[in-house]
Amino acid sequence: MGLQFKLLLRAAVNQKLFKGFTPSIAVREGQLEIIGVLLKVRASQHTCGEALLEARCHTRARCVEWLKNSDLIWPHVLVYALVTACYGGFKDMGDVFLSIIVCSFSQWLLPSEGGHLECEGIEKTWRIKQDSIAREVDILSSRNQYDIVLPELGPYVLDFTSSGHYMAVAGRKGHLAVVDMINMNLIKELQVRETVRDVVFLHNEMFFAAAQKK
């Protein structure tokens, strides 16, 4: 994307057109790629909130996920979208908003231990398939399945940002990488040529620390 085009988008993304804000129009048409571009050129929280409400009316669940993962949605907008979706009869969208709210705020509202699998009798956790788990979890969680094959430089350890937007991977043989889990883009990758035992994000996705052998 050229610099002039970026500047043009940045200038227009937060201006209201005759059909609404640009992100709202993209949501209305279900254009996920355009939404991604608009988020990258810094759409404002206000325009993203308007786009979220537009997604509610047009039952664009995938658009809602993209907007929420941008960290540009105010909490009260999510609550308002949930209430109006339920009142307007958009049950599926109400479920989507409720799942997002619970996932986003459970760490503050309902502090508890991390989730785990619990088996009955002689059943073994390692025999439970991902497909079986997907059938039992909420809609948003079931859509977050992915398969990454890294056969050569492992075993690997992983860490995620609090929003789940970014993943850091560290291979025992020195492979480090950061991946955007929304569109599966590789953000950065390096080979430190040392044993790596662990990796963790610091205050945001731009900084991480790795436990390396000196």
- Is 143 within 8 Å of 68 (Cβ atoms)? no
Buried b (16+ CB within 10 A) or exposed e, 76-110: ebbebbbebbeeeebeebbbbbbbbbeebeeeeee
Q: What is the pTM of this model?
A: 0.41
Which among 163, 158, 137, 138 has a CA at the least distance from the CA of 148?
Answer: 158
Range with the largest mean pLDDT of 4-18, 86-100, 166-180: 166-180
Question: Is the Cβ–Cβ distance between 211 and 198 less than 8 Å?
Answer: yes
Domain boundary among 93, 109, 125: 109
Position 8 pLDDT exceeds 50: no
Contacts of 1 (CB under 8 A, 6+ apart): 37
Q: Is the pLDDT of residue 30 over 70?
A: yes
Distance between CA atoms of residues 95 and 57, nearest Å? 14
Same domain assignment for residues 100 and 15: yes
pLDDT at 63 over 70: yes
When pLDDT is averaged across residues 126-131 and rounded to a whole number, the result is: 80
* pLDDT tens digits, one per residue of 160-192: 887 778 899 999 998 999 998 877 888 899 999
> For residue 20, what are the domain limits?
3-109
Q: Which helix (H) or strand (E) holds 201?
A: strand 196-201
Kindly state whether residues 23 and 101 are assigned to the same domain.
Answer: yes
Judge whether 179 lies within some domain: yes
Give me the chain's average pLDDT, please.
75
Number of domains in the chain: 2
- pLDDT tens for residues 40-58? 666 677 777 777 777 777 7
For residues 93 and 86, what is the distance between their CA atoms, to the nearest angstrom? 8
Rounded to whole angstroms, the Cα distance separating 59 from 19 reads: 18
Q: Residue length, the chain?
A: 214
What's 86's domain CATH number? Answer: 1.25.40
Query: Is the same domain home to 104 and 182?
Result: no
Report whether 196 contacts 175 (CB < 8 A): yes
Q: Are 213 and 194 in contact (CB under 8 A)?
A: yes
